[in-house]
Structure 1
Amino acid sequence: MTATTESRMSELDLPYEGLSSTATADFNRDGFVHLSGVLSPEVIAEYEPTITSEVIRLNSQHLPLAERDTYGKAFLQVTNLWQHNEKVKELVFSRRLAKIAAELLGVHAVRIYHDQALYKEPSGGITPWHADQYYWPLSSDRTLTVWLPLQETPLEMGPLAFARGSHNFSYGRDLPISDESEARLKQAVAEQNFEDVVEPFALGDASFHRGWSFHHAGPNRSTVPRRVMTVIYMDADIRLAEPTNEHQHGDRSWLPGTEVGQVADTPLNPVLYDGSHR
């Protein structure tokens, strides 16, 4: 291992200095935050080729874009890449990212729910309005997702966008991501006057959003894939809740062996940051 590679790995574990004194309050108010320079361009460049090669290797979507439904056109997705590649695991298990997650959630420790690569192909379609936590059989809303683009992401590539303050809005929480969620939530966001925050991402920027924050993305009108790595974090003390829909029954597979009422302390859900252990 070269000294340069070691320094890039160490950046993944060093604290991020960019959180403002009001970041947690802003996150609680808005349901998301867009942070600049979370990782250096050099670190992104170190890990992007490996993540991309793993997405190509593991991707199971082989239908042409024209033959897919709206969700299929939105992106290629591969989950828990960290289990397949040690280099990807270095990024996914970053203490820097996990510490930001814990601080924004206001919890002492976070564990991983799962990671997910989301690659929106050239000419890929919209990501419909939705809230992630519809899918998660978890006992509280102490959850968030980091959305880390692996390239500069201008508006034409379809960056993630958020309805400011929508995590406090209970309407639409029974909707899976679909054409219906796009239509109904788009209308609700407009009627409730939630600001639709759409911003480009510089290389190294990342957003963090709560599980119940409504969000969406435009199509990729560029000629290259929009490459994104995500990690879902949850309060380390969160418990498995009784599933309320078929998708939550399926998502229990990410918490193997956990029974309703138990903390999801499994080999697939290790604690990635614990502020009480310094």
Structure 2
Amino acid sequence: MSQQPEHLPSMDADYALGDEQIRDYRANGHIGLRGLASPAEIAVYGDAIRTIVKELNYHRKPIHERDTYGKAFIQIGNVWEKSEIVRRFVMARRFAKVAAELMGVEGVRIYHDQALFKEPGGGHTPWHQDQIYWPFDSDKTITMWMPIVPVTEEMGSMTFASGSHEAGYINKLVISDESHRTLRQYIEAKGFGQTTYGAMAAGDATFHAGWTLHSAPGNPTDRMREVMTIIYYADGLKAAEPDSNARKADLAGWLPGVKPGELAASHLNPLVYRAAK
């Protein structure tokens, strides 16, 4: 029996984020945080996320017949719109406060969420930068990546190119074989160190900046790697003129009704945290 919203675990309690962790994030463009969500919270919210993904899984071809992007994961966006339980999770004050503190901003809005489930035998996630998709006038963006099942070393978690966020916009390559090849060469040429946080418990999380180069290995295990992501941006950002088809699509899909130069704040982008004055 599913839980009623009034009986859901609260997600308002603060996570103690230290100054050194904030400095590390800003220097490297990523950080790993252990125990951001409790086992009890993951048991409830993870099950709700899993149910929606199962209902909306659009893949009909076996993995070996898909392209690189299709092999990488089952991807369902704005899961919060489809479930009151998931909405409570995505709008959690705890996660949003961490995002704001890492970026050094007073308030954050939701850009969108994504469930990213890498199937057994699923392929690698190519190197890419998230923010090539995002039509904002600032780089004050951040993504939380949280497994809702234990992720072993073999199953693979994210790999980050440390310090690569400082390079800003590198190129327009969307997630593809070409982005993997080209950006891997770029990382090697620039000498960026590569960091992974290894095995992760359900409820652990990584955060990374919009320009941070990242990838993930394939899943050679017989278990689904189930991950929920939430993208935040600083309150007050404006929509930029989209300079690619990817950004045009994002502007229309995730900032509906917002025009370039206007405040980035549609009905899909609620303010989820603001620091007390």
Does TM, scored on the shorter chain, surpass 0.5? yes
Match in the other structure for 1:142:
140
Q: 1:2 to 1:256 in 2, by over 3 A?
A: closer
Match in the other structure for 1:109:
107
Offset at 1:172?
3.2
Offset at 1:187?
1.4
Alpha-carbon distance in structure 2 between the residues aligned to 1:173 and 1:274: 33
Among candidates 128, 131, 134, match of residue 130 of structure 1:
128
Among candidates 159, 162, 173, match of residue 160 of structure 2:
162
Match in the other structure for 1:187:
185
Unpaired runs of 5+ residues, structure 2, are none
Alpha-carbon distance in structure 2 between the residues aligned to 1:242 and 1:155: 41
213-222 or 53-62, which deviates more: 53-62
Match in the other structure for 2:208:
209
| TM-score w.r.t. length of structure 2 | 0.95
Figure out how many residues of one structure are paired with residues of the other and give that number. 275
Are residue 256 (structure 1) and residue 267 (structure 2) matched? no
Residue identity opposite 1:260 in structure 2: P
Alpha-carbon distance in structure 2 between the residues aligned to 1:106 and 1:7: 33
The 8 Å contact of residues 145 and 229 in structure 2, kept in 1 or not, is answered as yes
* SS in structure 1 of the partner of residue 238 of structure 2: coil
Match in the other structure for 1:231:
230
Among candidates 35, 38, 41, match of residue 39 of structure 2:
41
Match in the other structure for 2:240:
241
Match in the other structure for 1:66:
64
Question: Structure 1 runs of 4+ off > 2 angstroms?
Answer: 5-9, 170-173
Residue identity opposite 2:70 in structure 1: G
Q: 1:8 to 1:23 in 2, by over 3 A?
A: farther
Match in the other structure for 1:90:
88
Matched-pair identity in %: 45
Match in the other structure for 2:266:
266
Measured against aligned partners, the alpha-carbon deviations of 1:52-104 in whole angstroms (never above 9, x if no partner) come to 11001112222211110001000000000110100010100100000000000
* SS in structure 1 of the partner of residue 232 of structure 2: strand
The 8 Å contact of residues 8 and 42 in structure 1, kept in 2 or not, is answered as no
After the TM superposition, which residues 169-184 of structure 1 pair with which residues of structure 2 at under 5 Å, given as runs? 169-170=167-168, 172-184=170-182
Alpha-carbon distance in structure 2 between the residues aligned to 1:9 and 1:47: 9
| TM-score w.r.t. length of structure 1 | 0.94
